[in-house]
Structure 1
Amino acid sequence: MKSGIKCISVSSLSNRCLTSAPTLHLPSSACRALVDEMEWAISQIDPKKMIQTGSFRINPDGSQSIREVPLARSEGNLLEMMESICERMGDYGERTDPSTNRKSYVRIKSRSGEAMDLSDASLDSRVTASLKFACETIVEQHEDEIIEFFAHETDNVKDKLCNLCDHALKMTHDEL
């Protein structure tokens, strides 16, 4: 069975195309890795750093529509993060749950340099390439939703965004 592109339609989304792979539960596992990496990247930015957004034009009444938002959650910063976030998928491998035989992606490289238990993880360049491709596809197809969830500090981003992807794959859809 080959991996393919499935196009779906969800009421809150326009038509979206997602990759699917027969051996991994995509996009759920890839989505969870992506969200973990985004949350970690956001946490590395000083929460006190602010950026001005809005219009710098002067309104007829002499005011400006400028507001300060945290840099970490600004749209520009999130877009910049998303440009390189999928490169971090090289830090992941594949793990098979022994009880369910379900495969998923797990981090195989520590962010702090600590040793990690890799006894149940498979290190394969094909897995890394598949995860990176899935990540890029999710970012490309769900860019607006990712920015929306992270910019507004939505609770349970992982569950909401990844359930959206899971739901989209389970729906009947038309292939384009």
Structure 2
Amino acid sequence: MRLLVLAVVCASLFLLKGVEGKGKKARDYTAYCGACKAVIDELQYSINKEDPHKKLETGNFRVGSDGKQSGVKSKRFAGSEAHLAELMDNVCGLMQNYGTTTDPKTGERGFMRINSRAGESITISNVNFSSGGTEELKSACDYVISEYEDDIVMLFQDGLSQKELERELCFDITGYCKSTPSRSEL
């Protein structure tokens, strides 16, 4: 009798799981890939514009019997864990500067920065563009930051180039980006 009850319960759970899965919308990896690349781009830009002479003091701040501090180390602030944490708190707000693109040849959807940074010119060619998708990209950005913050910090501190950062985080670690980046993608 117990075996029969157990079998009925298992079968019911299996059927419920199948019905639940049909109603759920699949995750749009295009938005997550775009958000991942945008995060890398925005963080790299912010690190590069930070004053390279700004230092961060770390270590032991105790004063010895001789009146001197020992164990205090000075390191570059730009790209430090503290700097990255500060930048990651605000990076998803910058997703409002991006819009949805559609490659006219392939029909592939992507995301591209549409607002310039400090007067830089932006060239957009051979791309159909719409300003929609900002909220979708911001939501995906929030998820990427919350789930992969430690990975982002580790990769930036490894001193990788922007392309290497994208490849490691967006393709290898998260798996959000599947194909070779096209020109219209971030």
Shorter-chain TM-score: what band? Answer: 0.7 to 0.9
Contact preservation (8 Å) 2:58, 2:72:
yes
Alignment TM-score, normalising by the size of structure 2: 0.69
Question: Which protein has the bigger strand share?
Answer: 1
Partner residue of 1:46?
51
Q: C-alpha separation between the residues in 1 aligned to 2:33 and 2:49?
A: 24
Partner residue of 2:136?
130
Partner of residue 111 from structure 1, selected from 117, 122, 134: 117
Task: Name structure 2 gaps, 5 residues minimum.
Answer: 1-22, 179-186
Partner of residue 95 from structure 2, selected from 70, 89, 94: 89
Partner residue of 1:9?
none
Partner residue of 1:73?
79
Partner residue of 1:166?
175
**Closer, same or farther: CA 114–157 of 1 in aligned 2, 3 Å:** closer
SS at match of 1:40: helix
Q: C-alpha separation between the residues in 2 aligned to 1:35 and 1:3?
A: 27
Question: Residue 100 of structure 1: CA displacement?
Answer: 2.3
Larger Cα-atom Rg: 2
Q: C-alpha separation between the residues in 2 aligned to 1:121 and 1:101?
A: 9
Contact preservation (8 Å) 1:93, 1:121:
no
Contact preservation (8 Å) 1:96, 1:103:
yes
**Closer, same or farther: CA 149–99 of 1 in aligned 2, 3 Å:** same
Number of residue equivalences:
150
Partner residue of 2:42?
37
Q: C-alpha separation between the residues in 2 aligned to 1:64 and 1:123?
A: 57
Coordinate RMSD, CA, aligned = 2.8
Question: Residue 56 of structure 1: CA displacement?
Answer: 2.4
Question: Residue 58 of structure 1: CA displacement?
Answer: 6.3
